Amino acid sequence: MTEATQKPDVPENIVLVGFMGSGKSTVGRMLARRLRFRFLDTDKLVEERAHLRISEIFEKHGEADFRGRETAALTSLCGIRQHIIATGGGIVTVPENIPLLRSLGLVVLLTAEPDEIYRRVSRNSERPLLQVEDPRRRVLDLMASRLPSYEAAAHFRVDSTRLQHVDVTEKIVEEAHRFFHWPQSMRA
């Protein structure tokens, strides 16, 4: 992770990256309400454009096709301002996505301990990458192999294992103030 200092040309958006179950959508919606920004989710954009659910895209066209659609969705966000953007957990696996993510604004990595992630994701069986014999092993392997890419993408990291979503949100708001040089009056 690099120093979280805004470059003059980086727009005011907050991009959330992290593994499935790290809380990107829930925290993203809270952040959007808190900062009065709009909320976007790249998974939802892909689904709306394809008129298919993510599980159907994986089933009918495979993961590589999904990744192409995900990069296209990310590219289409260029130029937006004052959005909170939640991303799919594998978005960092395509190297060209990393500069795209960073060009959108402050990139925040949400993490949690592997057992906590596994507990959260096993409540929802829709995720295609976890439809395997040993999903816990899969979670551990994917988390380990993706960590360097998450770190390359992110300016800042928050571990949510023992935090409430509202506390994670406040940590990100604080970091956004530093990053974007927002005045104190915007803190309320």
Q: Can you tell me which of 23, 28, 89, 105 binds ligand S3P, judged by CB under 6 A?
A: 89
Closer by beta carbon to ligand S3P, 12 or else 149: 149
Reading the block at residue 126, the tokens are 């829709």
The per-residue DSSP string of 104-155 comes to HSEEEEEE--HHHHHHHHTT-TT-GGG-SS-HHHHHHHHHHHHHHHHHHH-S
Does position 69 interact with ligand S3P (CB under 6 A)? The reply is no
Does position 20 interact with ligand S3P (CB under 6 A)? The reply is yes
Q: Which stretch binds ligand S3P (CB under 6 A): 8-16, 88-96, 110-118, 173-181?
A: 88-96
Is residue 71 helix, strand or coil?
Answer: helix
Count CB neighbours of 107 within 10 A.
Answer: 29
Closer by beta carbon to ligand S3P, 91 or else 172: 91
CA dihedral 100, 92, 28, 80 (to 10 degrees): 10
- Shortest spacing between CB 127 and ligand S3P, in angstroms: 5
Please report, for residues 90, 112, 178, 187, the alpha-carbon distance to residue 147 in angstroms, rounded to integers and kept in the order given: 11, 12, 25, 31
- Shortest spacing between CB 181 and ligand S3P, in angstroms: 30
Does position 47 interact with ligand S3P (CB under 6 A)? The reply is no
Q: Which stretch binds ligand S3P (CB under 6 A): 98-106, 123-131, 168-176, 179-187?
A: 123-131
Does position 128 interact with ligand S3P (CB under 6 A)? The reply is yes
Interface with ligand S3P (CB under 6 A): 20, 43, 54, 88-90, 127-129
